[in-house]
Structure 1
């Protein structure tokens, strides 16, 4: 386990003004994220989540520098990485806290192009039981379980209004004491860790408690209110869905955090669970999950039918001329892994050789080029611009 901490620098006022004019980020951007209603899609929030998800592939210092120009100056960014090659586990999550501690973003990094372990884990689709609520993709679930205990404690601290910088240093101290064989029970006056007990399923039982009503507003005048967003691109989007499912299912986490969740924004996300998982969590938080798919991106069609039956949940948005547009019908599973991968790779080379006459007109159902986070970032920026013009 590796934890890296970076302070998000305050930007020069002239840089902030120039950034605000060119990209639409102003002094009230954190206010806007805080005021977004749960279960209502927001183009500006989608834009900043696409930035967070895209830059989560970088180191935490670079990530913090970029976020400083996007309204998070003075905040804190923390990266949590876990690598176990033998277990095919290698993934990273980043927690971002605004300077006023009102907005917290949990972002999961997707499959890294140069990491063989990350790729092998992603294509290992053998299913595993998710808390008696259906079966999920084992290659997604294992890295999530490895990261979650640490993430849960850090998230609990951030949502309690504790400085993420201080909480992360305490987590590093905890880890180092265990590695040294010292007593792991470090006293902390900052925050008690979440009791993330799988037996604690009382509050949000799907058969007894319905999903929170779409459009619920933040508690007016509640000084302890926080706004939580969860995001990720590719594999990161799948991990974001698992995190939301965990927050909803575990009673202690549900009671502490669910009312603060504004939305789960994913980009190029693969399918996560079987029909039972999809049915139960569609009821739970489908109205709060906003999935984005760029053109014929192959990854949202994964895993293929040869790996078993998987289904998407949530609201699906596809790339349009002016940005993201809601689409009622979900994309379906690809037929086979080998066929879809070969088609996607062929489309990649077709794109690189686009200058050859007639080649650009060859239709391909799947594309790897479409999966790049750059595409999702560009369309999200167009959507935000359109929202600013039309007031959406």
Structure 2
């Protein structure tokens, strides 16, 4: 069993471009480099590990993302401002008329009518109340709930990208459910409130379901992408090794010792710097005490999916079986890898058949961080529902091209990007629900330059979930 203070940290900010190139060309050992830290004797294989293309490429990607982080953030604010300016004023003519009549509506980022780029790509939030997919236990209808849990988790994971006021309005007014709380939590290592989540219930009294949704990778947030590809890990003892960046996002306080970083009970509570794991756990405690019959659905898209599966792992480490027993399902969409094989086996043993992850085609995010030991040791686990072209679903252990850069898949990835863009136009004629706007089409076009990027859109996961009913028999046969 690994010690709880074992760790391996790659610090891209300390790596110079010439260091990365030199280590790669000369095939030097990783140990002793200025940008790598690990506990002495953590493992013989890591002590002898040499920098390979996976490690070098990861560090290079992280450094480039770090360089463009501020311009990318500014670009995101500008794009979202003008998209909201356009939508809030009814188009270009409305903007012109608003200027003439001094009635122009100026977007405010924290208002209930401000939408993120994700919402502009896909503004659908309607819940499926009459479609029930019963192929998996965690997707079965809950007693007293007239909403498909699969639909609820899918839409909640997408809604988590929005601001607190928007989420509250959507949950209360349109879903006719009960909004509980929006979390804006502190990341000690990024020194910002970089972790967002929300909780809602199907009703205010005697609820049947409690939904916890984590915000995912924001398109214009370079540090989210840096976290996704990071190869650093921290041992959770018998639970295996977990992704360090995702643990930081949940409130880790010491990156070299999990017992210090995530003690069973956290002291020094600070409302201004909430730690996601502890704040959410406490809220769930209170809700479960109030709603005796309620079950919990945990969900997230992208980085949010990683936090969704890491959260119950921490509960298990702290022996919080009282909360774990009330979990109905953990459903993630486009989730990156979170831990090693030992971590996966242990979390799978805790959740059993309650964990499902969805992957759409060549979505880039489920293929990172890379899986190439001894440095890159991350593994997927659990039931994977893989959506292929035209949203045909099947259960697989691992999606094709698991490390993204395999040359065998290059042509297929570009072909799929072209196919998805073409399909976006065709589906608009087949069903109105699949009509796509200019922003969505432009996002799909990005797949022509970076294959797999456009496949990460929540829109395709919503489409796949909506059309899953026509291929459910294939999933059943696979599972049986």
Q: Same fold (TM over 0.5)?
A: yes
The whole-number CA distance in structure 1 between the counterparts of 2:176 and 2:168 is: 8
Q: What stretches of structure 1 of length at least 5 have no aligned partner?
A: 7-18, 163-223, 388-392
Counterparts of 1:53 and 1:65, CA distance in 2: 16
Corresponding position of 2:240: 134
Looking at structure 1, the residues matched to 337 and 347 of structure 2 have their Cα atoms a distance apart, in angstroms, of 13
| Whole-Å separation in 1 of the counterparts to 2:136 and 2:471 | 21
What do the CA deviations read for 1:168-227 (whole angstroms, capped 9, x no partner)?
A: xxxxxxxxxxxxxxxxxxxxxxxxxxxxxxxxxxxxxxxxxxxxxxxxxxxxxxxx2111
CA contact (8 A) 1:296 1:365 kept: no
Q: How does 1:89-168 map to 2 (within 5 A)?
A: 90-99=194-203, 100=205, 101-145=207-251, 146-161=275-290
Q: 1:25, CA displacement in angstroms? A: 2.3
Normalising by structure 2, what TM-score? 0.53
What pairs up with 1:212-223 in 2 under 5 angstroms?
A: none
Aligned match of 1:53 in 157, 180, 184?
A: 157
Closer/same/farther in 2, CA of residues 279 and 117 from structure 1, 3 Å limit: same
Is the counterpart of residue 280 in structure 1 residue 346 in structure 2? yes
Is 1:369 matched with 2:454?
yes
> Does the Cα contact within 8 Å between 1:91 and 1:118 map onto a contact in 2?
no
Is 1:80 the counterpart of 2:165 in the alignment?
no
Q: Which digits, 9 at most, give the CA deviation of each residue in 1:310-355, with x for residues without a partner?
A: 1111111022578563413322674478999x99997898689869
The alignment covers a number of residue pairs equal to: 298
Which deviations, in whole Å up to 9, do the C-alpha atoms of 1:237-289 show, x marking residues without a partner?
A: 110111121233322x21x2222211001000111101111122222224111
Instruction: Kindly indicate whether the alpha-carbon contact (under 8 Å) linking 2:356 and 2:384 is maintained by their aligned counterparts in 1.
Output: yes
Is the alpha carbon distance of 1:227 and 1:133 closer, same or farther for their aligned partners in structure 2, counting shifts above 3 Å? same
Structure with more contact order per residue of length (Cα contacts < 8 Å, sep ≥ 6): 1
Between structure 1 and structure 2, the one with the greater Rg is 2
- CA 1:354/1:270 → structure 2, altered by over 3 Å: closer, same or farther? same
Is contact 1:285-1:314 (8 Å) kept? no
2:136 and 2:420 mapped to 1: Cα distance?
A: 41
Aligned residues of 1:348 and 1:368 also touching (Cα < 8 A): no
> 5+ unaligned residues in a row in structure 2: which ranges?
1-109, 113-123, 142-147, 252-274, 424-444, 473-480
Going from structure 1 to structure 2, the CA distance change for 1:64 and 1:378 (only over 3 Å counts) comes to: farther
